[in-house]
Structure 1
Amino acid sequence: MGHEELLARHRAVMPDWMALYYEQPIELASASGRRVTDREGRTYLDFFAGILTNAVGYDVAEISDAIRSQLSTGVLHSSTLYLIRSQVELAEKIAELSGIPDAKVFFTNSGTEANETALMLATQFRRSDQVLALRNSYHGRAFATVAITGNRGWSASSLSPVKVSWVHGGYRFRSPFKGLSDADYVKACVADLREVIETTTAGDVACMIAEPIQGVGGFSSPPDGLFGAFKEVLDEYGILFVSDEVQTGWGRTGEHFWGIQSHGVTPDAMTFAKGLGNGLAIGGVVARGDLMDCLTANSLSTFGGNPIATTGALATLNYLLDHDLQANAAKLGERLIDGLRDIAADRPAVGDVRGKGLMIGIELVGADGAPDAARAVAVLEGTRERGLLVGKGGLYGNVIRLAPPMTLTEDEVEEALGILEDVL
């Protein structure tokens, strides 16, 4: 069955709002390393990795063998009503890596569910339904996470179980504070935060939740130190800080293992997902013990932290650490950003090249500097035609997102740069 026939069947039974890439969508049939092959036999270099999820790449023996070993026991599932050895071992490792004092971990099935859990913990702990979120943010597609998503294109409903106040900071390229120095930008955003708390809330806010680098928002980020400055204000009011590390965790930014570490602050909780499972469905929250234990009713997770997911995730995390993929992300990310900025130097359609490690955004603009979504679509299609898969996002749909597996090689960076130079 070819792509055209499968697309017709897809449209007949799947919701209209479920996004597909490309004018002629493709089905991925097999993969190895950093390359995927579609059902019609075309092979591509994958620079989006299932939305940053296949962090180690495809068909990695150490991960596949661990999953097969668990499959051989016959125990694919037990629920959290029973002890799960791999779940405990994974939680121990994540708690230690988090840097959060007395940390405890709860596993979920996705980043959306992780962020929902963090909101439930924070609102219960603070006995408040007020939340601070950043403009241009994205935190998931469930009821509460849509409410804290500051991007109209991904916010399907105005209804909300929480009361949200919006602050500046995450998207600098089109911020009213864009022209300021790093230090003055931070001061302006901190002043905005304080004013928002004093004018739009009752003061007893539950938490602020923020992505260190805004993912769907086009890989945009503030100057280092902004969230450290925010945390000083939040501490004055007793407001918790939750770092959404769904896309920035596991060393992808190169500089640090967690994106928030660039800001010199330890959050009260972090949410995670995506790259941890290298394709398996897993997410979770790591938080201070008193925050994690604040629920007064029974709870569990039927599928979260199941034996298959946690076995695969533990193998993935060990592989990341054993092969120092954070260092690889830093080294090759620098080459990729430098190469893209060289390409952009004489291409006015490229308004901005930004990012850290292997998490890079290319913002496309028109002659007047306005967002140009059509050019981003053209780049998306043009790279696919030349054998490179990239992502697309941004508040205005005009940003190309690059997030290849962290096992990327130097030759693959040069191959991708050649294709991007040609297309741009």
Structure 2
Amino acid sequence: MTGLHERHLAVSPEWLALYYRHPLELTHGEGRHVWDADGNRYLDFFGGILTTMTAHALPEVTKAVAEQAGRIIHSSTLYLNRPMVEMAERIATLSGIPDARVFFTTSGTEANDTALLLATAYRRSNQILAMRNSYHGRSFSTVSITGNQAWSPTSLSPLQTLYVHGGVRSRGPYAELSDERFIQACVADLEDLLGHTRRPAALIAEPVQGVGGFTSPPDGLFAAFREVLDRHGVLWISDEVQTGWGRTGDHFWGWQAHAEHGPPDILTFAKGIGNGMSVGGVVARAEVMNCLDANSISTFGGSPITMAASLANLSYLLEHDLQGNARRVGGLLIERLRGVTAASPAVREVRGRGLMIGIELVRTGTDEADPEAAAAVLEAARAGGLLIGKGGGHSTSVLRIAPPLTLTVAEAEEGAAILADALHAAG
């Protein structure tokens, strides 16, 4: 055990998880690579949990941060903030939400917490619909709407939460149905649920479930849900903390795979837009955003330095078509991963879209999740020079692969080869 690890354990909560038997201290990064305190170099396929979205030490972002730091770092929302207004204008346009208003936070948890506040105040209801296998943050309100038991440490809640089918396509009671019948069954379940409860304030859903193992429903499910929700006066919150900014390749926002009836009422974002800076936020149409009848500010949300970073990062992302790169290189990567895992009895499924890919591991000859195998592959991949993540529903048996959106074809090939070796070594 390293000295830093011992010091960490002495002052940190026991529930603050660390990856690896011998945890890493990352000291610096460049592009898609990071280095640890021992000088080892790794290809980074997790980006600080999908947060270093563009690249490590991206010159455009570091320059913007340095220049802003030389002027003023912090002011709070009590003062006009030019970078914040400029960023809000760009996000309002990109969101697709008409007459949009934007409120900045410091994290995805805080963004989802704000969205819940807005929805419950607007609809005067403390009932929330959420998806099974979901994850929305670590605050008291967001763990209470998280449908993944491993990440929900208390049953106490300020909200009454009801869970809906549909977030996981290949498991559960509807898994054997066709996509069309799967959607029909999930809609019927939602209709039945709404017939047995008072009117909920909102449905919150990740278009692709992140911590849940990069699972997603067939395209169009949330459009079908939207018809039912609108009829019952229930808002739709799209949690884009992990799916936003083009990561899925096919779309800029995850909700656009379900766009038949237009954008969500509320959209939340965070993680990648700051490329490592602490940025989150909420977008909603004006009547929803303005429904609060008490004062509110944000001390750190939308700070000049985080907004400067986000503006530079967003400009780079759009100018270099990183959504298109996620679609092209992500498509190649997922096909390579399906190829190298095809003969492995431990791999149940390789799924995902763009640069958001999951490999689900099971005990050989069964459909039972195998978290021990996932942990072993994580270790073996590290030994081979690759950092990945893990997640999943009832256990952490899914390898999570989400490289920076500037990933090259050569790096995708290299990462797939290392993963193939790691699966073999761990098997």
The one of 247, 251, 265 aligned to 2:246: 251
Greater CA deviation, 136-145 or 366-375?
366-375
Does structure 1 retain, via aligned residues, the 8 Å contact 2:169–2:175?
Answer: yes
CA distance in 2, matches of 1:330, 1:401: 17
Matches within 5 A, 1:210-289: 210-264=205-259, 265-289=262-286
Say yes or no: does 1:62 pair with 2:60: yes
Q: Deviations over 1:181-226 (max 9, x none)?
A: 0000000111111111112x21x21000000000000000000000
The amino acid of 1:399's aligned partner reads V
Flag structure 2 segments of 5+ consecutive residues without an equivalent.
none
CA distance in 2, matches of 1:94, 1:46: 28
Q: CA deviation at 1:175?
A: 1.8
Q: Which runs of 4+ in 1 moved over 6 A?
A: none
CA distance in 2, matches of 1:54, 1:212: 20
CA distance in 1, matches of 2:194, 2:379: 43
CA distance in 2, matches of 1:87, 1:383: 40
Count residues in correspondence.
419
CA distance in 2, matches of 1:100, 1:305: 20
Does structure 2 retain, via aligned residues, the 8 Å contact 1:111–1:271?
Answer: yes
Which residue pairs with 1:356 in the alignment?
Answer: 353
* DSSP 3-state at the match of 1:44: strand
Does structure 2 retain, via aligned residues, the 8 Å contact 1:277–1:309?
Answer: yes
Matches within 5 A, 1:311-326: 311-326=308-323
* DSSP 3-state at the match of 1:216: coil
TM-score if structure 1 supplies the norm length? 0.98
TM-score if structure 2 supplies the norm length? 0.97
* DSSP 3-state at the match of 2:35: strand
Say yes or no: does 1:52 pair with 2:50: yes
CA distance in 2, matches of 1:142, 1:182: 34
Which residue pairs with 2:188 in the alignment?
Answer: 191
CA distance in 1, matches of 2:44, 2:266: 32
CA distance in 1, matches of 2:239, 2:318: 21
The one of 339, 349, 367 aligned to 1:369: 367
Flag structure 1 segments of 5+ consecutive residues without an equivalent.
none
Q: CA deviation at 1:344?
A: 2.1
Which residue pairs with 1:15 in the alignment?
Answer: 13
Say yes or no: does 1:417 pair with 2:416: yes
The amino acid of 2:314's aligned partner reads L
Does structure 2 retain, via aligned residues, the 8 Å contact 1:166–1:196?
Answer: no
The amino acid of 2:315's aligned partner reads N
Q: Deviations over 1:63-121 (max 9, x none)?
A: 11111110111x11100000000000000000000000100000000000000000000
Which residue pairs with 1:399 in the alignment?
Answer: 398
* DSSP 3-state at the match of 2:195: helix
Greater CA deviation, 341-350 or 408-417?
341-350
CA distance in 2, matches of 1:230, 1:348: 36
Which residue pairs with 1:96 in the alignment?
Answer: 93
The amino acid of 2:234's aligned partner reads I
Does structure 1 retain, via aligned residues, the 8 Å contact 2:170–2:176?
Answer: no
Q: CA deviation at 1:321?
A: 0.4
Q: Deviations over 1:306-335 (max 9, x none)?
A: 000111011111110010000000001100
Which residue pairs with 1:301 in the alignment?
Answer: 298
Q: CA deviation at 1:422?
A: 1.2
